[in-house]
Each structure stands twice: as C-alpha cells, then as structure tokens.
Amino acid sequence: MKKVLVTLVGLVTLVSLAACSNNSKADSESSKSSVAVSKKVTTATSYSAKEPAKSKMGNDKNFALMIEAAQSQVPSLQAQAGDTYQHISIEEGKDDTIVYNFILKDKPAVAIDGDALKPTMAKGLKPMIDQFKSRYPDIKAQINYLNPDKTVAAAITITAADTDQVTD
C-alpha cells in the first residue's frame, strides 16, 4: 500500500513538473532566435562570438535561468503533494542535470524501489526532457527521495535515452 502511495505521489509530482516546464519553452525559443541574430551580427562584423556565460555549476546561464523558473513552481508542488514531503527543492546540477530533492515527512515503512519507479518517471519527464534535449543533448533529471534525516531513500537518474525508450 505504501509503495502504491509513494508511486502515486511520484507520478503526480512528475506530471506537475512536466506541465510547469512549458513556461521555459518560450525562453528556449527566444534564446534560439537570439543566437541566430547573434550569429548574423557576428558574421557581418567579422569577429568571433564569445563563449556563453557559465553558471557556478558549469552550465550555460540559460540552463541556470530554466532552473530558477522551475524553482518558482515548488510551492504549488508542495501544495499538490500535501503532507507527504516536508520539503521539495529543484536545483541545478553539473553537466546539464536538473536535481529534484523530495524530503519525506516520515521514513517509509518499506524501501522505495527506484528501479521499479524509473520507467514511470521516464514517462512523466519525457515532455520536459524532449523539449530541452535539442539545446542540451546531455540533459538529465536526478530525482532524490530523502528520508527525514536526509539519508537517501532512493535516487533515480532519467536521461534522454531513458525517455526515448518510452512508448506512448
């Protein structure tokens, strides 16, 4: 019963995260058009374009802005999850990784089976990863379920290769 509850909460969370990622699509498209204009200006003035600015995690600044936009959705995620989690955070990880941390309110009575959850999470994250993988080919989502004492209950990594295997 607890596995079903944890799976259900995980699915609701992932669906809401995927739904919230649509706001970043306009930013991504805007960035692409800005790059196209920048390339034309660079060609016309015959000087080379500078490397994009990097965040403190080594990702480009647009990736860091995408994470910042996702963080604004945390309060609604916490409201949807009810009292299952004492804290939810979305952070920027290294190498184009989005890190989702879910600190459980209570330690689960049974172990969370990350391998069993991975296909469901890949399906839930597919829209978000598909949206950004053209710009960030190595994009991944790291989902960490943490016990109240912050020890790891489960850690699941979803890559573009995982979402490519999802069939509708």
Alpha-carbon distance values, 148 to 2, 83, 153 (Å): 16, 13, 10
What are 80-130's pLDDT values in tens digits?
999 999 999 999 999 999 999 999 999 999 999 999 999 999 999 999 999
The reported pLDDT for the residue numbered 13 is 54
The type of residue at 15 is V
Q: Tokens standing for 139?
A: 């994009």
pLDDT-based confidence at residue 16 (cuts at 50, 70, 90) = low
What are 41-56's pLDDT values in tens digits?
444 444 445 566 788 7
Query: What pTM did the predictor assign?
Result: 0.68
